[in-house]
Amino acid sequence: MKISFVLNGKKRTADVQPDMRVVDLLREHLHLTGTKEGCGSGECGACTILVDGESRLSCLMLAAQLEGKRITTIEGLSKGKRLHPVQEAFVESGAVQCGFCTPGMVMTAVDMLSRNPDPSRDEIREGISGNLCRCTGYQKIVDAIEAAAKDKSR
Amino acid sequence: MAREVLLPHTIDGLWEIIRSEPGARLYAGGTDLLVKLRPQAHLPSSSPGTLVCLDRIEELKGIHEEDGLVCIRACTTHSEIMRDPVIRRHFPVLTKALRLLGSPQVRNMGTIGGNICTASPAGDTLTPLYALGASVETRSCDSGRLMPLKSFILGPGKAALQEGEILYGIWITKDLDFNIHHFEKVGQRKALAIAIASMAALIKLSDEGVIEKIRLAWGSVAPTVLSSQTIEDALTGKPLTEDALRDVMPLVMDAVSPINDVRASAGYRRRVTANLLLRLLQYRNAGFEGLRIQEKIRSTNF
């Protein structure tokens, strides 16, 4: 099945099995391995991408559902060598240890900040409640998102 | 997973598909079905020939008011419902429950229709919808039915959808005249957790602190959502005090029929369900305006 969609700002077409999961399409077919699979059942958030700007779980989407959509993956955030402000904040705040949860966390944070540019720490915690991290204990991730929010508002 | 995946853009397109492929499995958000259909090494593959995603059918989305009722179309996502000002104003118990359902991503994808049709005893939309006395509208290519939600849920995982039918919308009466809207869910985590026990409560509390009207619904502690006229009658006319609530706790423990599973024992669920009543005490001291302030839903969109 041929599908057409916009990926990280560029028009793409793909010829895939319609029931291929989007996380597999991204990783195996398009070799964009920034998006991770942690559970395959929607419970960890590592596969989070943006679909028309909204955070969704790519392990629970089928390729056919991409038709006509605008997708953003972690690879689409940086511009050349310039990191997205949220990525920059994660780096500066030491919010990355093994890095496996990080792409999903960053995508979720980008969606969150686009809706609520000035969240409290509690709101940040609620906002990342769909993303699990086994390394950091979340504190620095919350710091990073808080810093990114302050940075954008300058 | 499937031979083909279809995305009709109109409801007429959907009827065409249902007519020509009666075995097709329908889904909207996919947060239940696509987990079930994952190939698993130890289970035989049971892939349907055709999957139909309802996501593109605009007619199945949205919230509108009509004749003193609010209608939520079945494929409206939990996030959309949670953010809707009409729902927040008239049915804050539903807004509260949705904030605890799944996660932000799951709420962006999952729909109220999917949650209802999955008919899990732990379905987080079901408990508040039972308390609100919601009705469901089903439609097929040439007919429609309307029934109380209670009649639509037949048992764990079983909804009363007939061949060729879809869940079309959920109808809730406005102006139910309750001033306390309460929901609590007990789980192993604060998010991405199935309810071990949950309770929705609607109370009309007089200025003197007397319960004039009450509706209660409990989730995850019976094959379907539980409500009890006996318990509601026992509390009607009583002051909202610890003694009055403790008096009915034995009735609650008797009414529920929880299971033992990996998450909790039946005994724990039974005790917690009764204890959840005591959470209603947080509303007793405020007057009517105070209740409104206490229940202010944060305006952030998650």
**Given CB atoms, is B7 within the 8 Å cutoff of chain A?**
yes
Please tell me the distance from the alpha carbon of residue B4 to that of residue A64, in angstroms, as a whole number: 9
Residue A33 touches partner B, C-beta closer than 8 Å: no
Task: Say how far apart CA A145 and CA A136 lie, in whole Å.
Answer: 14
Give the span between the Cα atoms of A4 and B132, in whole angstroms: 43
What tokens were used for B70? 């609010």
- Has residue B195 got a pLDDT over 60? yes
How high is the mean pLDDT of chain B?
A: 91
Could you tell me the residue ranges of all domains in chain B? 4-53, 59-173, 180-294
Query: For a pLDDT cut of 70, what percent of chain B falls above it?
Result: 91
Say whether residue B300 is in contact with chain A using an 8 A CB cutoff: yes
Contact A112/B at CB under 8 A: yes
A31 Cβ contact partners less than 8 Å away, ≥ 6 residues apart: none
Euclidean distance between CA atoms B240 and B99, whole angstroms: 26
- CA B258 to CA B264: how far, in whole Å? 10
A127 contacts in B (CB within 8 Å)?
A: 104, 302
Selected residue with higher pLDDT from B44 and B121: B121
Contact A43 B38 (CB under 8 A): no
A43 interfacial to chain B (CB closer than 8 Å): yes
Listed in sequence order, the residues at least 6 apart from B267 whose beta carbon sits closer than 8 Å to its beta carbon are none
The predicted pLDDT at position B302 comes to: 39
In chain B, which residue's Cα lies nearest the Cα of A61? B30
- A85-152, superfamily in CATH? [2Fe-2S]-binding domain (1.10.150.120)
Task: Give the span between the Cα atoms of B268 and B57, in whole angstroms.
Answer: 43
How high is the pLDDT of residue B286?
A: 55
Containing A53, the helix (H) or strand (E) segment is: none
Where does the pLDDT of residue B46 fall: very low under 50, low under 70, confident under 90, or very high at 90 and above? low
Q: Which residues of B touch A37 (CB under 8 A)?
A: none
The residue whose two tokens read 């195996």 is: A28
Please count the residue pairs, one from chain A and one from chain B, whose beta carbons lie less than 8 angstroms apart.
96
Partners of residue B35 in chain A, C-beta under 8 Å = 41-42, 60
Report the alpha-carbon distance of residue A77 to residue B262 in Å, rounded: 41
CB contact under 8 A, A48 and B105: yes
Residues 6+ apart with CB under 8 A from B275: B249
**CA A61, CA B33: separation in Å to the nearest integer?**
11
Q: Which of B5, B6, B109 sits opposite A60 (nearest CB)?
A: B109
Q: Which of A21, A55, A60 sits opposite B104 (nearest CB)?
A: A55
As for the ipTM of the complex, it is 0.97
Which residues on chain B are in Cβ contact (under 8 Å) with A42?
A: 31, 35, 102, 105-106
The pLDDT of residue B301 is 39
pLDDT tens digits for range B52-94: 999 999 999 999 999 999 999 999 999 999 999 999 999 999 9
How many angstroms separate the CA atoms of A5 and A7, rounded?
6
CATH code 3.30.390.50 for B180-294: yes
For residues A89 and A95, what is the distance between their CA atoms, to the nearest angstrom? 8
Contacts of A43 in chain B (CB under 8 A): 192
CB of A111 less than 8 A from some CB of B: yes
Interface check A137 vs B, CB under 8 A: no
Domain boundaries of chain A, sorted by first residue:
2-76, 85-152
Record: contact A115-B6, CB cut-off 8 A: no
Single out the residue of B167, B196, B211 nearest to residue B71, CA to CA: B167
Q: B163 by DSSP, 3-state: which?
A: coil
Which of B102, B103, B300 lies at the smallest CB-CB distance from A123?
A: B300
Chain B residues within an 8 Å CB radius of A62: 1, 5, 30, 34, 51, 53
pLDDT at residue B157, rounded to an integer: 95
Tokens representing residue A136 in the block: 């950091």
DSSP-assigned beta bridge partners for residue B198: B185, B219
pLDDT band (50, 70, 90) for residue B138: very high
Number of other residues whose CB lies within 10 A of the CB of residue B293: 8
What span, in angstroms and rounded, lies between the C-alpha atoms of B229 and B235? 10
Tell me: the pLDDT tens digits for B139-186? 999 999 999 999 999 999 999 999 999 999 999 999 889 999 999 999
3-state secondary structure of B60: helix
Render each residue's pLDDT in chain A as its tens digit; 154 residues. Answer: 899 999 999 999 999 998 899 999 999 999 999 999 999 999 999 999 999 999 999 999 999 999 999 999 999 999 999 999 999 999 999 999 999 999 999 999 999 999 999 999 999 999 999 999 999 999 999 999 999 999 866 4
- C-beta atoms of A42 and B106 within 8 A: yes
**CATH fold of A2-76, please?**
Ubiquitin-like (UB roll) (3.10.20)
Between the CA of residue B36 and those of B22, B40, B60, B156, what are the distances in Å?
20, 9, 23, 15
pLDDT digits (tens, 9 = 90+) for A57-80: 999 999 999 999 999 999 999 999
pLDDT for B294 beyond 80: no
Cβ-Cβ contacts under 8 Å, A54 against chain B? 79, 108
The answer to whether the Cβ–Cβ distance between B2 and A45 falls below 8 Å is no
Q: pTM higher than 0.90 for the full model?
A: yes
> Given an 8 Å threshold on Cβ–Cβ distance, is A62 in contact with B105?
no
Asked if the Cβ–Cβ distance from A129 to B190 is below 8 Å, we say yes
Q: Give contacts of B 97-116 with A, CB under 8 A.
A: 99, 102-106, 108-109
pLDDT score recorded for residue B287: 47
Q: Which chain B residues have a beta carbon less than 8 Å from that of A49?
A: none
A80-84, B47-51, B119-123, B271-275: range with lowest mean pLDDT: B47-51
Give residue B288's pLDDT band: very low, low, confident or very high (50, 70, 90): very low
- Residues in chain A, how many? 154
CB A116 within 8 A of CB A80: no
- The alpha-carbon gap from B229 to the nearest alpha carbon of chain A, in Å, equals 36
User: B59-173 belongs to which CATH class?
Assistant: alpha beta
| Residue B227 contacts A where some CB pair is shorter than 8 Å | no
Work out the average pLDDT over B16-39.
Answer: 92
Residue B221 vs residue B3, higher pLDDT: B221
